Amino acid sequence: MRRWRSLMWLLFLAWPLFLGAKEAAAPKSPALARQAVVLQISGAIGPATADYVHRGFAKAKDANAALVILQMDTPGGLDTAMRAIVQDILAAPMPVVVYVAPSGARAASAGAYILLAAHVAAMAPATNVGAATPVRIGGVPDPGADRAPKKDEQEKDKKGKAKPEKPGMDEKAINDAIAYIRGLAQLRGRNVAWAEKAVREAASIPAEEAVKTNVADLMAADLPQLLKKLDGRKVKLQSGEVKLDTKNLTLKTHEPDWRNRLLAVIADPNIAYILMLLGIYGLFFELWNPGYVLPGVIGGICLLLALYAFQVLPISYAGLGLILLGITFMVAEAFMPSFGALGIGGLVAFVIGSIILFDT
């Protein structure tokens, strides 16, 4: 009896280990390999959008997804954030479909680059793409760009002929954007001439014309119809050519969580300008009237948030800077009473920095 009891206890204790070994040895569920992960890009493209897309691709890779669909409706955004998303698309181990939807949506400015970078470019009816000319933040004109130099101001060569004018900052930015968008169009076999026109002349076309002129690949009214039209299409990945099999694919949408939504609000261009002004004027008033504390606290926090929103500081540096600033304020509150201005400001900076830096 004792032997039987010992054997029963041994089996009871070993049962969880057996289940764990069985689960580890079991192959991955076929449902995981038959997923199409949907990521939603809505609004201005900024550092929060690039972070959301990057993490979405990582989740799709972990889930062994067969396809990633970027459903996009954007007026444009920051060049650095757009290039980060394009790099994620080009390095993706699975096919990436950029789908401009729903009807009435657009892929303007930075969105046009992302659409051309996709393995498959799809658009819903009554959508448009284009207007990809780079615009400087703040709209500050290029000094001397609108004024043609006078004859006596033009540099001359040894033969006395006028030298060609040097390109301004705007022209350099446009030429760089043209080279970039042409490279993406050539990589995917799309209309290179129109891609250059979208940058040089800010051209924009509707979905029907985009498909006819080989800017987009297909039109679909919704996601189920998109999957039907994708079935059997061949795309080129870094690993080689792949034939899409989208029958019975399960659509799994990874919507932006509260962290991404909060960071997207901070990174909105309109909010970013306000934060920049508050930061500059807050520090200015603190230096003009030392000892007020509150303007300096607000200015320091707003300035770091603005630098993050304009992607001057990367996410890691911005988050770490806010955390360190918050700790400094809270420590200073203990030695220099400020009626809670330093303490509350430090707590706010610490919390926002933690949200930016860490992803729960």
Residues acting as catalytic residues = 109, 151
**CA–CA dist 37, 253 (Å, integer):** 6
What is the C-alpha to C-alpha distance for residues 96 and 45, in angstroms, rounded to an integer? 18
Question: What CA dihedral angle connects 94, 98, 102 and 103, to 10 degrees?
Answer: -140
Chain-centroid distance of CA 80 in Å reads: 9
Nearest 5 degrees, angle CA 123-CA 125-CA 128? 60
Find the farthest-apart pair of alpha carbons in the chain and give their distance in angstroms, rounded: 114
DSSP code per residue over 165-209:
PPP-HHHHHHHHHHHHHHHHHHHHT--HHHHHHHHHS--EEEHHH
Instruction: For residue 125, say if its preceding peptide bond is cis, omega within 30 degrees of 0.
Output: no
State how far the alpha carbon of 165 is from the alpha carbons of 148, 150, 155, 162, 288, in Å.
Answer: 9, 11, 8, 9, 44
Q: How far apart are CA 209 and CA 120, in angstroms?
A: 16
SS3 label, residue 253: strand
Helical H segments across 34-95, by residue range: 47-62, 79-90
